[in-house]
Structure 1
C-alpha cells in the first residue's frame, strides 16, 4: 500500500505543472501565429502535415477578426502534433537571414548616399573595391547627381526620375558581390 502511494506521489512530481502546460500551449499558439504570417512559398518548404497546412492557409484567407483568432487557435492546437522545434528553428533562420539581408541593403544605400553627397567618399570607396571601372563609376555618380538636381527643380506633383540613382545602387551592389566572391570563404589551414 505504501509502495503504491510513493509511486503515485512520484508520478505526480514527474508531470509538468498546469502553469508549464499552459506556457507550452501558448508557445505553440505563438508559433502557429508565426506560421499564419509566413508566406505560402515558405510554408511549402517546411513540409508541414497536410491538415496543418490547410488550417494555416484557411487562417490566412480568413478576414474576420474573430474567425481568424479562432482559426489561429486551431492551428496552435494542431501544432501539438507537429515538430515544433524544427519549425521554430527554420523560421528563426529565415528571420535572421532576412535581417542580415536588410542590413546589407542599408549599407549599400548609405554608400550610395555618401557617394552622391560628396567626392570625399569616392577615393576610400574605390580603394575598397579596386576591380570597379573608375571612369564608368564616376560617370554614374555624375549622372545620378544631375538627375537629383533635375528632380529637385521639378514641381512636387511630378514623378521624379530614378534611372541613374538605381543604376548607381546596382553598380555598388555588383562591386560588393564581386568583392565577396573574390574573398575565400574559409581561411587556408596550415
Structure 2
C-alpha cells in the first residue's frame, strides 16, 4: 500500500510525484533559461548592462564575451556567463529587460502614428484642420508652411530621374514638428 495519502499536507517538502527535490529535467530547464538570459545580456550595450543588478564578476564575464571574436571562445564564455547567472537576481533582470522591450515597442508605435499623421497631412487638407482641433496650442502658420514645403519637396522628388537622390529635408521637418506637438 502507498504510504503517501491524499490527506498529507502539501507543505511536507515533496512534490506531487513524491520527490523531495526538483527533477533533473527541471534543473536542466532552469539552467537553459539562465543560459538564454545570459545570451540576452551579452547582446546589450555596456550602458544598459550598468543599469542591471549584476555582480562585478558577471559584468566582466559578459563584457569579455562581447569582445571575444572566435566562435568557440565566445560560446564558452557565454556558457560561463550562464553559470554565473545562477547567483544573479534573474527575476529582477528579466523584469528590467521586459520594461526596455515594452518601452521600445511603445516608442515604435508612437513613431508609426506620427508617420501616418505626416502622410495624411501631405495628402489631405482636412487633416490639418482635424489636427488643429485636437491641438489648439499648435502654431497653425508654422505647420502650414512646413506642410507646404514638404508637398513641394514631394512633388519635386516624384519628377526625379532614376538614380537621383530624393530630398527629404522638409519631410523630416514635418515629422519633427509633429513629434514636438505630441510631447
138, 147, 156: which one pairs with 1:132? Answer: 138
Aligned length: 169
Q: Which residue of 2 aligns with 1:100?
A: 106
Q: How does 1:57-136 map to 2 (within 5 A)?
A: 57-136=63-142
**Larger helix fraction of residues:** 1
2:35 to 20, 29, 32: 29
Q: For the residues of structure 1 that align with 2:14 and 2:172, how far apart are their CA atoms? A: 68
Normalized against structure 1, the TM-score is what?
0.83
Shift of 1:88: 0.8
CA distance in 1, matches of 2:21, 2:53: 31
Superposed displacement of residue 150, structure 1: 1.3
Match of 1:150 among 149, 156, 176: 156
Q: Return 5+ residue gaps in structure 1 as ranges.
A: 1-8, 178-190
Corresponding residue of 2:5 = none
Q: CA deviation at 1:10?
A: 5.7
Stretches of 4+ aligned residues off by more than 3 angstroms: 9-12
**Where do 5+ consecutive residues of structure 2 fail to align?**
1-12
Deviations 1:52-100 (A, max 9, x none): 1111111112223332222211111110011111111111111111111
Alignment CA distance shift 1:10-1:149 (3 Å): closer
Note the C-alpha offset of 1:101. Answer: 0.8
- Output the CA distance in 2 between the equivalents of 1:10 and 1:94: 38
Structure 1 window deviating more from structure 2 (41-50 vs 141-150): it is 41-50
TM-score by length of 2: 0.86
Superposition RMSD on alpha carbons, in Å?
Answer: 1.8
Q: 1-side partners of 2:14 and 2:90: how far apart?
A: 28
